[in-house]
Amino acid sequence: MSREADRDPHRAGRVAESFGSGPDLYDRATPAERMGSWAMGTLGEELLTLLADLYEQGQEHDAHQPRHGDRLRNLEPQTAALVSVLVRSSGRTRLLEIGTPNGYSTIWLAWAAAQTGGRLISIEVDPGRQRMAEDNLRRAGLRDRVDLVLGDATDVIEELTGLFDLVFFDADRVSAPAQLALLLPRLAPDAMLLADNVLSHPGEIAGYLAALEDLGDFDRLVVPVGKGLSVAYRGPGHPREQR
């Protein structure tokens, strides 16, 4: 395997698990095959291929953007797969995502919502990105599962009604504590909160993690997948509810 492949843990994993160790086999593989056996077969070949294409296009796009804010910064595929399993295995139906870009993680969440009979609201501040996400959700056949909302998430959240049983924070991180505070009255008693970039941007996410800790009624852990996923969970009958 080439040095380049050695530096890419996903590529190395995909090659090792799906094709043995020959670079030729990897190069001949379809995008879906490149996702490897760790990926989610239940998504189906077509959706897996679309997701693999979107991820690769996102990586390609980001590689040419010197400014952090111009990058799409899609979730690592394994993180997205874990998020999807968390939603499905706990039957979450009222999902909120903060940060849509091209709809990569939105598709994973929308597909999971389709399995649980749920819906997703996804908030994005950039109209061009939201249009991209809308196109990609249509391509995935999942447009009807998602309400795409345009605006600054902190403002949008103030206007939201209804309860959420899963919130995925993946926008600008520093606004996440304020967004969490606004969302508290809109969280179901049984609620899961996810946030990416705990390991890649520990300084920026520190305020969010501290805010979570202050809540006191959420179990908290960091899963060292991708860029580090914060998982916080409060079950029904949590101490605050029993008071």
Residues that bind ligand SAM (CB under 6 A): 73-75, 99, 101, 104-105, 123-126, 129, 152-154, 170-172, 175
For residue 241, give every residue at least 6 positions away whose Cβ sits within 8 Å of its Cβ, in sequence order, or none: 189, 217
Instruction: Answer for the pair 98, 171: CB distance below 8 angstroms, yes or no.
Output: yes
Shortest distance (Å) from residue 80 CB to ligand SAM? 7
Q: Which is nearer to ligand SAM, 2 or 65 (CB)?
A: 65
Of residues 123 and 140, the one with the C-beta less far from ligand SAM: 123
In order of 55, 94, 103, 197, the CA distances from 89 in angstroms are 24, 14, 22, 23
Dihedrals φ, ψ of 62, to 5°? -65, -30
Least distance between ligand SAM and beta carbon 169 (Å) = 9
Structure tokens at 39: 């990926």
Minimum CB separation of residue 1 from ligand SAM in Å reads 27
| Residue closest to ligand SAM when measured from CB atoms | 99
Query: Residue 19 corresponds to which tokens in the numbers above?
Result: 């094709």
Task: Work out how close the CB of 139 gets to ligand SAM at its nearest, in angstroms, rounded to a whole number.
Answer: 15
Phi–psi pair at 204, nearest 5 degrees = -70, -30
Q: Indicate the residue among 67 and 243 with the shorter CB distance to ligand SAM.
A: 67
CB of 179 to ligand SAM, least distance (A): 8
Closest CA to 105 of 226, 12, 199, 5: 226
State the alpha helices, DSSP H only, in 20-171. 23-28, 31-35, 45-63, 77-89, 104-116, 127-140, 153-159
Cβ contact 180:212 at 8 Å? yes
Residue 20 CB, shortest distance to ligand SAM, in Å, is 30
d(CA 146, CA 170): 17
Closest distance of CB 210 from ligand SAM, Å: 19
